[in-house]
Amino acid sequence: MKSQHNLQAGVKHLISRWLGESTQFQHHYSSERRSMPHQTELLGLPALAMDPIQDLNPTSPTFGQFLFMLDYDAVP
């Protein structure tokens, strides 16, 4: 039973990665279908500088913590 359970857990983990928790990207929107095959072109577009999302100062007591907060910072 143990081995069976472990096997099930391992298979489940692999399936989870395969189905949607992996590096695969699911295309659901029209814009994604149009844009995603051209990632080389996308990454060559003019870029907008973005502020870091985290505190990346190694000497800071809040090193690694997120500056952007869900449900607090305004979103479009």
Partner 1 sequence: MSTTPNRKTHVTLDTTQDVLTEPVLGFQRDGYEMARGSNSGSQNLILISQCGWQLKPMQLDPGQMGQMSQAQSSILGSGQGAIPSGWVQLPRFGQLTATGIDYAPSVATSGDLFWTKQVKAGDDWSSSNYVLTGDQSGYPSPWSISQPIPVDRTFVGSSSWGPDQGFVVRIDVAGAKTLAGEGLAAIGFCGPAGLAAGGNGQYYLCLGANGEAELFELCSGQWVSCGSKPYGPKQRVSGATHFISIQPCTKTLNPALNGVIVIEFEQVKQNPDANASSSPAVSHPQDVRQWHLAVPKSTLVSSPVPVRLDIRRDLRAAWQISSLTYPTSALLRDDPFTLPYFATSAQPIILAWFSDLPSGCAISGALYDAETGAELTQSGTLAGFPQYTVDFPQRTFFTEFTLSGSPSVAPALATPTLFGYRVQRDAVFRASTLTPVDLSGIVTKIESSVPGSDSLPGWAKISAKDETNTMGPILNRGRRRIRVETEYDPANPQNRAGLFVGEVVSPQFSAFGLAGSVYPSSLWNGLELAAVGPLARLSEAVSPMRFDFGKDFNGLDSLGHPLPFLVTDALTTLFAAAGFDSSQIDLPASPLRLFATADPQGHVIEPQVPLGDVIIRLCREYLGGRPYFDPDLNQWRILTVVPTGSPIANFVTSGPGAGKQVNNVMGYPSGTAFIRKDSMQTWILPATASAIVAYGLAAETQGFPTLIMQVAVNTPSLPFDGVNPNSMGLDYLDRYMPLFIGIPGQSTPNGLNWMVRRAFDRLCHGKQVTSWQSPLVLVADLDGSTGTMRSLRPGDLITVNGANAMLTEIRFDYGKDEHQMAYYEAESIPS
Please tell me whether residue 7 binds partner 1 under the rule CB under 8 A: no
Question: Shortest Cβ distance from residue 41 to partner 1 (Å)?
Answer: 10
Helix (H, G, I), strand (E, B) or coil at 66: strand
Task: Count the residues of the shown chain that bind partner 1, applying the rule CB under 8 A.
Answer: 49
Structure token pair of residue 35? 């844009």
Task: Work out the number of other CB atoms within 10 angstroms of the CB of residue 55.
Answer: 14
Please tell me whether residue 14 binds partner 1 under the rule CB under 8 A: no
Please tell me whether residue 17 binds partner 1 under the rule CB under 8 A: yes
Please tell me whether residue 42 binds partner 1 under the rule CB under 8 A: yes
Structure token pair of residue 4? 């069976």
